[in-house]
Structure 1
Amino acid sequence: MKLTGVIGVIVAAILALDGVNGQAECDSLQSSYVQKHNACKATQVSPLNATLYCAQTACQESLQLYNNLLSASCVLNASDLPALGLAASPYLSPLFCVAECVDAFTQMQTAQTQCQQSTGTVKTTAECQGCQNYFRTLPTLLSNCKYNSTLQVMKEIVNKDQLQCDTSAKASTDTRTGSSSVSPFVICGVGGGIIVLALIVILQNRRKRFLDVFQTMTLRHKGKKVPAAGSKKAPYQAYEIPNDVRYDPEMAKFWHPQNKLSQITLRSKGGFGMVFSATLDTGGSQGKIRVALKQLLPSRTHDVEQIEQFMNEIRLAAQLDHPNIVPFVGMTWSTLQDLSMITAYMANGDLFKLLRAEHKKPTAKRSLSWSVANACNKLSIAANVLDAIAYLHGCNPSVIHRDLKSKNVLLDDNFRAHVTDFGVSRESAMGVDAIMTARVGTSAWIAPEVLRGEKYTHQADMYSFGVLLSELDTLQDPYKDVTLQPELAGMKSGKLAARVAQGKITPAFSPDVPSYILSIAQRCLAYDFNQRPSAMQVAMEMNSFLIQDHQRISHSPPPASIHGSSDNAYAAL
């Protein structure tokens, strides 16, 4: 007990000494800081002029000492804190004079001034663009620069202006759709007048079509679903999107200004969205690159659930990095309605169109086969897809694609396959089953357990891969070749789905399919998902077959190649 008491006294003494030393260090730092802080104030330069303020040596040094004080957990008197003098942010961050932060703060001030230029109730397009630019600076200020405020407080500063932009945007939209006027100018000359008038009409129609996709004003709506076309229009109100990707500090680095995009061309349109091709000026070493833009249909941008799902897809795509997944480039937006995901452009379009084009050829002229003799071949495509799926399943948290089919496989200029469209994908912890949700996959590719509404795992993707193998083999949609499955002729999709759900039918394969492909497909299409192989297992098998086939043809002459078209449209969404 006596020894314990002695040890306790020693420990207490050590702690007391540490406390004394720590306080001495704080006192020393505080003295140095106050000296520099007073010298900074003596310059009479306000930090509201960030560039000039941070050019003062005393101000730079005082912020560095302030940072040291915070790191040492020292306490400063409120009167000694470096003041910014703004209601939303009364004190300076120690990172205020970092070059990136000076730029961000200056841009924020400029944008706020532009946003709040007028005091009236109607906002101009330029003012609303200023409001949007203001929001773009917030992720950098709050995250990278540790700006002493919160996102909510910063947003409230221009909230009134933002609402006025909503009203102005609505009025502008109504005017564009309801007005019949063409031009405020008087056109002189009969012949010249007709020509000029025709040109104005053409240009206005083109401008309207463009604005339908890339609008220039902020349109933000209440978080309620808007009635479908044909029903009465719902009130036009402002709303907040939970976890809005546009204001996510982690996503700020992926934003590209819309004025860096050119040669925008619509490639495809589906039930949920549109895909454009475009040229993006990266402003870096890459220069100008060709990209694809994915965007929700205008009718879908009134549905907050669709918007949230699209934002989740953008976030997920930004996290993925694999040679066989379509590379994520970034995002762009000026309004909620034109929010776009930017990905690498795939020159040879989607696998679906390649297979259907090949099917239209006479059998003797088809060159797409399971042999790797061609750069474009079924075996390499299948192996590429499996590598991507194995990567997704191996992520932490793992990812279930849930919509694997030929339309969601894109081919680059070398016919390397890339998996795309993660709109219905979901992240899940390993070993945790999921329940089917709305818009999961397309019925012919969906696993039986998913069709039955039961819990499912990554093995649902393996079933879809088995169906994809049948597409590669027959060059057609699953269950469509009635010569292979005559009993299905004329069967409606609902009845077909019911038979798949019951395990009474699986896609058929041609007599020419290689035995090893048929074996893999049959295992993937097992009714009991526990009997299906893992993506990693099949990927290893596929790559083994690739190596064997390369060895087999190493001394064979090259066959005729497949010539893909760079104008192939992308998969419909």
Structure 2
Amino acid sequence: MLITLQFSHTGVSVSAGFLALACAVGFLIWQYKKRKMNSTSSKFLTRNASSSHMNTEVGAHLQIHLFSYDELMAATDCFDTSRELGDGGFGTVYKGKLRDGRTVAVKRLYERNYKRVEQFMNEVEILSLLHHQNLVSLYGCTSHRSHELLLVYEFVPNGTVADHLHGSRASERILTWPMRLNIAIETADALAYLHAVDPPIIHRDVKTNNILLDSSFHVKVADFGLSRLFPVNATHVSTAPQGTPGYVDPEYHQCFQLTDKSDVYSFGVVLVELISSKQAIDITRQRSEIHLANMAITKIQNHELEDLVDPELWYPSDEVTKMMITMMAELAFRCLQSDGDMRPPIKEVLEGLKAIESKIYKSEEKNDVWTQDDATGARNIAVFSPDCVTGKWVSQSTTPNTSQ
């Protein structure tokens, strides 16, 4: 009986020992997971800073000013609805005034989760590296540990290109054809800069809602939450498709391969919007024309460009403007090819847009720049592109854009 009791006592002791060990292991695992969660949301701001020192190192590492949440609350009158400038897929933008008198735009991300923190950190890191006259300037942000995730940009007063083409300010008809051509040139210039920096940057959300206009109607490309740093000498980045319906590269959507030509496709949609004043997606249009890109390819192939162009731009007596629009349509057509290899690089698109502008200026000085096409009455520039703008335009694929 004594032996039995001794064994029982030993069993209790062993069980207690195992229980204590299990508790210790569980505590260590909990601590590890907690540290991992805390560090995950901070790794996007700086690869070298530890999570425990992130608050003090972020501003210094990226040379970005850290605003306090209270300061931005005061600047926007507690995010008063009367100060709303716009509402996008990731957050609401408010007009604010800082203590130093600067007028700013404050983006307030909708919710605080892992994905939003990632986009927040991504935009801060990318914009801190960029300096171009046609890119929006980032003044600073709140700490990633702040009550809310807030980004502070320069204030761009004239809204978005989308507002003026088919949005709240479309009725004002401010954007003349020369202004639209200049918007195209400056946007292409900004994208060419992004694709040329080291490492290259793919914007991944090029659209008229992300093209802002300053007080002189010059372009400021914005919203880099989805942008990607592109590895040098890489042909593509394999990643799940992201972007806005109507602008997403169909090849990227189908093959999960992001390239610089993905931005070119999106820019092609922007060019068609500038020509037509139509939305990229409009479910009120007939089924085959819901996607503006598909509509444009069909109209161009069928020689029905006049049906695509904004009627207020297409005056029969203005042959110069009609030819400029036709040539921009040609560039858009090339950008919208479903095969990315058939699209021109953005630098070539920029050169094409500048050529349109420069040849038109020359046409005012020399009448012999233009040649008359006796069959159609259309005017064509003798040497501009290997593709004839009055000939049959054939797309490499008539497959509809299924990116949505």
The TM-score by the shorter chain falls in which range? 0.5 to 0.7
In the alignment, which residue of structure 2 is the partner of 1:292?
105
Alpha-carbon distance in structure 2 between the residues aligned to 1:334 and 1:359: 35
Alpha-carbon distance in structure 1 between the residues aligned to 2:299 and 2:158: 26
Alignment partner of 1:535 out of 321, 343, 346:
346
In the alignment, which residue of structure 1 is the partner of 2:176?
369
In the alignment, which residue of structure 1 is the partner of 2:238?
435
Distance 1:279 1:460, change over 3 A: same
1:522 aligns with 2:333: yes
Equivalenced residue count is 294
Alignment partner of 1:269 out of 84, 87, 100:
87
**2:158–2:215 Cα contact (<8 Å) kept:** yes
By how many angstroms is 1:480 displaced? 3.6
Alpha-carbon distance in structure 2 between the residues aligned to 1:504 and 1:386: 20
1:545 aligns with 2:363: no
Please give the secondary structure, in 2, of the residue aligned with 1:452. Answer: helix
Please give the secondary structure, in 1, of the residue aligned with 2:98. Answer: strand
Alignment TM-score, normalising by the size of structure 2: 0.64
* AA at the equivalent of 1:241: S
Correspondence list, 1:6-405, <5 A: 241-243=41-43, 245=45, 246=55, 247-248=57-58, 249-251=60-62, 253-257=64-68, 261=72, 262-264=74-76, 265-282=83-100, 288-297=101-110, 300-301=111-112, 303-333=113-143, 335-357=145-167, 361=171, 366=173, 368-370=175-177, 372=178, 377-405=179-207
Alpha-carbon distance in structure 2 between the residues aligned to 1:418 and 1:327: 9
In the alignment, which residue of structure 2 is the partner of 1:408?
210
**1:478–1:507 Cα contact (<8 Å) kept:** no
Deviates more, 1:414-423 or 1:544-553: 544-553
Distance 1:311 1:481, change over 3 A: closer
By how many angstroms is 1:357 displaced? 4.7
Alpha-carbon distance in structure 2 between the residues aligned to 1:366 and 1:240: 47
Deviates more, 1:264-273 or 1:521-530: 264-273
Alignment partner of 1:488 out of 288, 291, 309:
288
Alpha-carbon distance in structure 1 between the residues aligned to 2:262 and 2:208: 16
Identity rate, percent: 27
Q: CA-to-partner distance for each residue in 1:93-112, whole Å, 9 max, x for gaps?
A: xxxxxxxxxxxxxxxxxxxx
Please give the secondary structure, in 2, of the residue aligned with 1:444. Answer: coil
1:454 aligns with 2:265: no
1:472 aligns with 2:309: no
Distance 1:244 1:453, change over 3 A: closer
Alpha-carbon distance in structure 1 between the residues aligned to 2:227 and 2:144: 26
Distance 1:239 1:389, change over 3 A: closer
* AA at the equivalent of 1:296: L
By how many angstroms is 1:346 displaced? 0.5
Specify every segment of 5 or more residues in structure 2 that has no aligned partner in the other structure, as ranges. 1-33, 46-54, 77-82, 315-321, 366-404
Deviates more, 1:261-270 or 1:392-401: 261-270
Aligned CA RMSD, in angstroms, stands at 3.3
Deviates more, 1:303-312 or 1:414-423: 303-312
Alpha-carbon distance in structure 2 between the residues aligned to 1:321 and 1:392: 10
In the alignment, which residue of structure 2 is the partner of 1:168?
none
By how many angstroms is 1:309 displaced? 2.3
* AA at the equivalent of 1:471: E
**2:106–2:152 Cα contact (<8 Å) kept:** yes
Alignment TM-score, normalising by the size of structure 1: 0.46
Alpha-carbon distance in structure 2 between the residues aligned to 1:551 and 1:445: 34
* AA at the equivalent of 1:351: V
**2:272–2:296 Cα contact (<8 Å) kept:** no
**1:466–1:522 Cα contact (<8 Å) kept:** yes
Q: CA-to-partner distance for each residue in 1:234-268, whole Å, 9 max, x for gaps?
A: xxxx7763326444241355224456555413323
Larger radius of gyration: 1
Distance 1:441 1:244, change over 3 A: closer
By how many angstroms is 1:448 displaced? 1.3
In the alignment, which residue of structure 1 is the partner of 2:378?
none
In the alignment, which residue of structure 2 is the partner of 1:64?
none
Distance 1:308 1:359, change over 3 A: closer
By how many angstroms is 1:428 displaced? 0.9
**2:275–2:329 Cα contact (<8 Å) kept:** no
**1:358–1:368 Cα contact (<8 Å) kept:** no
Distance 1:240 1:395, change over 3 A: closer
By how many angstroms is 1:475 displaced? 0.9
Alpha-carbon distance in structure 2 between the residues aligned to 1:469 and 1:436: 26
Alpha-carbon distance in structure 2 between the residues aligned to 1:534 and 1:334: 36
By how many angstroms is 1:549 displaced? 4.0
Alpha-carbon distance in structure 1 between the residues aligned to 2:35 and 2:274: 45
Alpha-carbon distance in structure 1 between the residues aligned to 2:283 and 2:148: 40
Q: CA-to-partner distance for each residue in 1:46-76, whole Å, 9 max, x for gaps?
A: xxxxxxxxxxxxxxxxxxxxxxxxxxxxxxx
Distance 1:459 1:480, change over 3 A: same
By how many angstroms is 1:547 displaced? 3.3
* AA at the equivalent of 1:398: P
By how many angstroms is 1:479 displaced? 5.4
By how many angstroms is 1:368 displaced? 2.8
